[in-house]
Structure 1
């Protein structure tokens, strides 16, 4: 038995590229940059070394996420590795690559976070700002339609975990 699961988080290196197969299946390709820390042998300092990971997503979810996956967005992805091999049409040489077939995407930065809009800072993370939707049909001077009561969004309590609390 073998396990083929990948979990990475990083920044998108380019906007998602949406295409379709001959059969009509949507294919979304994008890249994620992740860092690896290593000690420089000459200086003894720790350095970040970037790794660029090609990712691909298929189907209706690819259509839905295409407009949100833009360069610089911080994401966490889960998927599986797939190795592809083909022959280069121009040189005739065999080529191959390893890519992640994405099952899940989680956005780690708020939309528009580069401009510091759309979120408020809480505990070092971007948190979305929730507000009442704008009523486009409202006319000036007309009474507003009653809105249903929406319970406030609650933040879970922080958990303090210490090494002595872990049973192994």
Structure 2
């Protein structure tokens, strides 16, 4: 048996990047800041999230910078060749299956309008 499940709760670091494809598919990418439950560091861990279909549309319509969200998904790695060196590069991505909008509507409006970067 194998298992690849990632569950995260954090604040969105930038406005969602939505792309619509000719095939009708919708893709959304965004970053998520997650605080570790450790006393050693105040810096959050940053994750790149990738959402598809209806979940991507929901994120595009209701998620903004500073929104508190929860996600469940799987870890995947994007791989490409560096244009300058030709070296193979990889980047971890969380492929989101489930998106939960956390906090009240008033909270998310306050976070968005103030530009608060306190994750």
**CA contact 1:37–1:48 (8 Å) conserved in 2:** no
Q: What's the counterpart of residue 157 of structure 1?
A: none
Gaps of 5+ in 2: 112-119
SS of 1:49 mapped into structure 2: coil
Taking the TM superposition and a 5 Å limit, the aligned residue runs for 1:24-43 are 24-40=24-40
- What displacement does 1:102 show? 0.6
- Divergent runs of 4+, >6 A: none
Give secondary structure in 2 for the equivalent of 1:67. Answer: helix
Give 1:104's aligned residue.
98
Shift of the alpha carbon at 1:90?
A: 4.4
Alignment size in residue pairs: 110
CA distance in 2, matches of 1:56, 1:83: 11
Gap runs ≥5 in structure 1: 41-46, 117-168
TM-score (norm 1): 0.58
Q: CA RMSD in A?
A: 2.1
Distance 2:55 2:39 in 1: 40
The residue aligned with 2:75 is: 81
Q: Find the structure with the greater CA-based Rg.
A: 1
* 1:6-48 Cα shifts (integer Å, max 9, x gaps): 11100000111101345331100011101124454xxxxxx33
Structure-2 separation of matches of 1:19 and 1:100: 17
TM-score where L is the length of structure 2: 0.79
Structure 1's 115 and 59: CA in aligned 2 closer, same or farther, altered over 3 A? Answer: closer
2:54 to 44, 48, 60: 60
More helix by share: 2
Q: Contact 1:18–1:27 (CA<8 Å) still a contact in 2?
A: yes
Residue 114 (structure 2) aligns with: none
Question: What is the CA-CA distance between 1:87 and the residue it aligns to?
Answer: 1.2
